[in-house]
Chains A and B, each alone.
Chain A
Amino acid sequence: EDKVVQSPLSLVVHEGDTVTLNCSYEVTNFRSLLWYKQEKKAPTFLFMLTSSGIEKKSGRLSSILDKKELSSILNITATQTGDSAIYLCAVDRAGGTSYGKLTFGQGTILTVHP
C-alpha cells in the first residue's frame, strides 16, 4: 500500500528561526512529489519535485527531492508568523488507474510565535 509519512507532526518556533520539514514515501510508479500549504481550507501549491537533487526555491522557502532515499525536505528560513499553517506533502503516480490521484501525508502543523 502506498504511504507518505511526514515529520515532525507539529513544530513550534519563534520568528526568525529556520525550520526543516520532512517527507518520506513508499509508492509504486512515482512521478512527482508536491508540497502544499494549508491555512484555512484550501491547500495552496508550493513546489512540485520530479528530479532528484535539484533544489526548488521561492523566496524563503526551498525544497529538494532525494529519490534514492525516497524523501524530500521543505526548508523555511527566517520564519514569520504568516508561515503558521499545515504543510502537506503529497505524491503523484504515473499511469494506470492511479493517474492523477494524490496520496497525502499527515501534514506538519507549524506554529510561528512572534
Chain B
Amino acid sequence: SAVISQKPSRDICQRGTSLTIQCQVDSQVTMMFWYRQQPGQSLTLIATANQGSEATYESGFVIDKFPISRPNLTFSTLTVSNMSPEDSSIYLCSVKQGATEAFFGQGTRLTVV
C-alpha cells in the first residue's frame, strides 16, 4: 500500500486568497486524483492529475479555479483559487495502481472566512 503525505492538514483562509495543497507519495504511482468533500456530503472527484500533461477535470470543475500540477509520479498539488466560503471543504488526494483499491491522503480541512 502507498503512504501518502498531504499538507497542510487544515487551514483557515480569507476569501479572495488562494491555497495550495501538496500530496507526496512514497512510491511512483500511475493515477492520482483530487476529491472534495463538502460539509455533510460525500466525496466528489475534482480531477485526475496527469503526469507531464494538463489535469483532466470533472464536470463542474475548471482549471482556473482548481489548477493542478503533477511534475512527477510521486507528487501533485491542488490550488484552490480566489476562495469563497463555499469552498470550505475537506480536500483529499488519492492514488490508485491499476485494479487495486484507492488510498487516500490525510486530507486538508479548509475553512474560508
- Interface residues of chain A, those whose CB is within 8 Å of chain B, are 31-32, 34, 40-45, 48, 88, 90, 92, 97, 99-107
Contact = CB atoms under 8 A, between A and B. Distances in A.
Interface residues of B, number: 25
A43 B106 contact: no
State the main secondary structure of chain B at its contact with A.
strand
Contact of A48 (B43, B48, B90, B101): B101
Say what secondary structure dominates the interface of chain A.
strand
A15 B109 CA distance: 30
Contacts of B100: 48
B102 interface: yes
Contacts of A105: 42
A42 B106 contact: yes
22 contacts: A31-B99, A34-B101, A34-B102, A40-B107, A41-B107, A41-B108, A42-B104, A42-B107, A44-B104, A45-B102, A45-B103, A88-B43, A92-B99, A97-B56, A100-B30, A100-B31, A100-B102, A102-B33, A102-B43, A102-B102, A104-B43, A104-B44
